[in-house]
């Protein structure tokens, strides 16, 4: 009998069968997500509040300080208002929750499709693809909770895909994602790096301007009426989080979690990790020094940045932001769950350890309420993954 091992290797570890495997995974996840909607009970958390906030806007209120619902005030940028106004209309003013679930299923599948395109461009072997559909928590976030993270991340992944194909559109897509939820700002330093690599000072300046101007356009009705209230509500960088819902810092205790010194320490650590990425890790991906990249950026030329480099740069910037986040609530898993298989693939770590890290992270996000053990496990997994990321030598498969 012929040796099938070479064929198995081609199927699982090369790009030869990536497309049919990706299509099969997409179909499987479509059926799985449909069954989740049909068989698992929906849990009301913020959907009703979202609809109450949208109803206030539709009544003519433009003061963000006066827009609120059962679970709190409106704390998201204006893009959220327009996106959820469309959902308000499509679901009979929010009353048809089942229809909303199916719409979020479509968003989930659209996100999966975009992510699969990113993975193909980054040459991730098909053996890693099943992890994209294996998360219990992620399906819950999308179709059982209806959080706005789903909308923001679809646009964010579309921006990342555009960076390696049509960089001119990436700034607008990234800005639209930020206008849904401000966590996407964690990727702005990486986006600036990619724009500089692809088109130098000119592209970086133009895309930065696009981001700023599109934010102003999206928020124009609120900025024109109550600018201070809008900026204070939509971009509240000093917002305090509830210890009850924290996934990542449960082991600290309430007093340490709420301390100003801890928040400042996390901010400093975030800046230092970004500096290491920008000065050491990201330049290594391209085979150039940071000085060479800076000099190239002042020349009037364009360069094609590989899809692998774009993905690793954007995903790693997001990861360090998550590691240093003031608090992670359960829906925040959507910020990077689709990124984990690619990050694990490129991390220079033993394969059994990489798989163990995914299991540890998934476990920690499924423990409710979080415990000291689950939050310590999540932190240990994040730190180990970062260690593997910092050892990356180039944007090529291991």
As given in the structure block, the two tokens for residue 148 are 């706005």
Q: What is the mean pLDDT of residues 138-142?
A: 98
Q: Report in angstroms the alpha-carbon separations of 136 from 140, 157, 184, 218, 367.
A: 6, 21, 23, 34, 11
Please report which confidence band the pLDDT of residue 246 belongs to, taking 50, 70 and 90 as the band edges: very high
3-state secondary structure (DSSP) of residue 105:
helix
As given in the structure block, the two tokens for residue 281 are 């890790």
Q: What is the mean pLDDT of residues 37-56?
A: 97
As given in the structure block, the two tokens for residue 347 are 């991390």
Rounded (10°) angle between helices 307-323 and 97-121: 120
User: 1: Cβ–Cβ under 8 A, 6 or more apart, which residues?
Assistant: none
Contact by Cβ (8 Å): 229, 65: yes
pLDDT at 185 over 50: yes
Show the DSSP H helices in the chain as ranges. 5-13, 18-39, 47-58, 78-90, 97-121, 136-139, 149-163, 167-180, 188-218, 220-225, 227-234, 254-258, 260-276, 282-286, 290-297, 307-323, 340-346, 351-366, 372-390
Nearest to 49 by CA among 179, 153, 148: 148
pLDDT at 396 over 90: no
pLDDT at 398 over 50: no
pLDDT at 299 over 90: no
Sign of CA dihedral 280, 286, 291, 297: negative
pLDDT at 41 over 90: yes
**DSSP at 143:** I
pLDDT at 2 over 70: no
Query: Could you give the CA distance from residue 152 to residue 182 in angstroms, rounded to a whole number?
Result: 9
Q: What is the mean pLDDT of residues 217-244?
A: 93
Please report which confidence band the pLDDT of residue 1 belongs to, taking 50, 70 and 90 as the band edges: very low
Contact by Cβ (8 Å): 267, 324: yes
Q: What is the mean pLDDT of residues 61-70?
A: 95
Report the chain's mean pLDDT, rounded to a whole number: 95
Please report which confidence band the pLDDT of residue 156 belongs to, taking 50, 70 and 90 as the band edges: very high
| SS3 track for 194-251 | HHHHHHHHHHHHHHHHHHHHHHHHHCHHHHHHCHHHHHHHHCCCCCCCCHHHCCCCHH
**Residue in the block written with tokens 């150039």:** 288
Nearest to 320 by CA among 384, 386, 230: 386
Contact by Cβ (8 Å): 357, 137: no
3-state secondary structure (DSSP) of residue 171:
helix
Our CA angle for 113, 119, 121, nearest 5°, is 105
Backbone dihedral angles phi then psi of residue 317, each to the nearest 5 degrees? -60, -40
Q: pLDDT (tens digit, 9 = 90+) per residue, 90-125?
A: 999 999 999 999 999 999 999 999 999 999 999 999
3-state secondary structure (DSSP) of residue 68:
strand
3-state secondary structure (DSSP) of residue 60:
coil
pLDDT at 75 over 70: yes
Strand partners, 56: none
Nearest to 51 by CA among 31, 71, 27, 33: 71
Q: What is the mean pLDDT of residues 260-286?
A: 96
């Amino acid at each position: 009998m012929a040796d099938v091992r070479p064929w198995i290797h081609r199927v699982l570890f090369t790009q030869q069968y990536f497309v049919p495997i990706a299509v099969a995974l997409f179909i499987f996840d479509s059926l799985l997500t449909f069954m989740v909607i049909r068989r698992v009970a929906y849990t009301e958390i913020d959907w009703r509040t979202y609809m109450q906030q949208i109803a206030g806007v539709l009544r003519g209120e433009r003061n963000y300080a006066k827009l609120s619902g059962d679970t709190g005030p409106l704390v998201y940028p204006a893009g959220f208002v327009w996106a959820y106004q469309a959902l308000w209309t499509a679901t009979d003013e929010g009353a048809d929750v089942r229809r909303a679930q199916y719409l979020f299923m479509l968003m989930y599948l659209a996100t999966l499709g975009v992510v699969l395109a990113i993975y193909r461009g980054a040459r991730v072997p098909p053996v890693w693809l099943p992890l994209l559909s294996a998360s219990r928590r992620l399906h819950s976030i999308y179709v059982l909770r209806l959080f706005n993270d789903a909308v923001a991340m679809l646009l964010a992944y579309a921006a990342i895909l555009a960076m390696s194909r049509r960089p001119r559109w990436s700034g607008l897509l990234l800005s639209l994602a930020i206008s849904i939820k401000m966590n996407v700002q964690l990727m702005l330093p990486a986006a600036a790096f990619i724009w500089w690599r692809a088109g130098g000072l000119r592209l970086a300046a133009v895309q930065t301007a696009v981001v700023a101007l599109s934010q102003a356009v999206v928020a124009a009705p609120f900025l024109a009426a109550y600018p201070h209230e809008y900026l204070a509500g939509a971009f509240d960088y000093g917002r305090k989080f509830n210890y009850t819902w924290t996934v990542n810092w449960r082991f600290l205790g309430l007093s340490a979690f709420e301390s100003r010194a801890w928040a400042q320490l996390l901010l400093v650590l975030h800046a230092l990790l970004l500096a290491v990425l920008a000065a050491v890790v990201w330049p290594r991906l391209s085979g150039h020094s940071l000085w060479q990249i800076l000099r190239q950026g002042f020349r009037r030329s364009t360069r094609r940045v590989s899809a692998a480099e774009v993905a690793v740069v954007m995903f790693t910037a997001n990861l360090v932001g998550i590691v240093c986040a003031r608090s992670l609530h359960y829906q925040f898993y959507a910020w990077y769950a689709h990124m984990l298989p690619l990050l694990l693939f490129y991390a220079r770590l033993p394969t059994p350890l990489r798989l163990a890290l995914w299991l540890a992270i998934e476990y920690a996000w499924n423990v409710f309420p979080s415990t000291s053990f689950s939050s310590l496990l999540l932190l240990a997994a994040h730190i180990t993954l970062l260690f593997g990321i910092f050892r990356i030598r180039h944007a090529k498969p291991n």
